[in-house]
Structure 1
Amino acid sequence: QPPRSTDILLQEFITRGPNEADIAFVYESIALHRWRQSSLTQGNPYQMYYLEPTIETVATAAIVTRNVNQATADAAQQFLDFLAEPEQQSVFVQFGFRSANSNVDIQSVVNSPWLQSIPGVSASPPPASPTQEQTTLAEVIRLWQRAK
């Protein structure tokens, strides 16, 4: 049975130790967050590698305004603005997420995993793979706008 998430997969690798798999593909944030656990339980923590080109996941949020009154939509926007502030983005960085706020440097945040000498970790990963062709993106945008 496949793991329910990449975090559970990595936890199983850490708990059980060496097994049939030599490599696990997981999100960077999960690998960074679980690294200390691996170093404590296995004695020989794992090495991180980045695919080249890598696959970028972008933190996104949207307020769907259909069937929502203006006060609720405004409150949702305030919450998103709050999450984007440097103080909150710094908390995300501490858990291995790259900041969605360009004013937050992942290497200057206290307790940033990028400052913990984790083998293979990189503040500047390889370039991301090219985005989808314009017709695909246009169709996704069209469907999204239809759902609003």
Structure 2
Amino acid sequence: MGDKPIVRDIKQAINQDLQKRYSTVEEKNTLHTASALDPRFKSLPFLTTDDISATYSKLVVEAASLQPTIRQEETSSASGIEMDGQDLEVLEEPQPKRRSGLADLLGETFSTTAPLKSAFSQAEEEVKRYQEASPLPLEENPLNWW
């Protein structure tokens, strides 16, 4: 790097101080995950290639483990039950589409619906898309981005 000597010394002092403060594997994993989830620093330039892969692999596993919870929340909100303080309102459910004679005859043979993907596959694709997206500029707020 082309840093001035004073900048290099400051960076080195900060690095040494952080190494003392965050020494456990759990603390480091938490910091790596937090950095990976910040769209400004998601490239994790301060980690080795193996550490980057491990960090994003853990994110995939964590995201996949949350899928049943997310699906359950989506199902309860899609059912039309809304809580607004004290009232419980049930909305009408949409009527199913009427099938044509051809659809009855051929059934699922020519279905256009995509096969369901596992929670792990969905999480893997989502994390990959996140990694491929352009990083957020440093002056931007990552909370607004999310």
Look at both structures and tell me which one has the larger radius of gyration over its CA atoms: 2
Greater share of helix: 2
**Structure with greater contact order relative to length (CA < 8 Å, sep ≥ 6):** 2
Provide TM-score, normalisation by structure 1.
Answer: 0.24
Provide TM-score, normalisation by structure 2.
Answer: 0.25
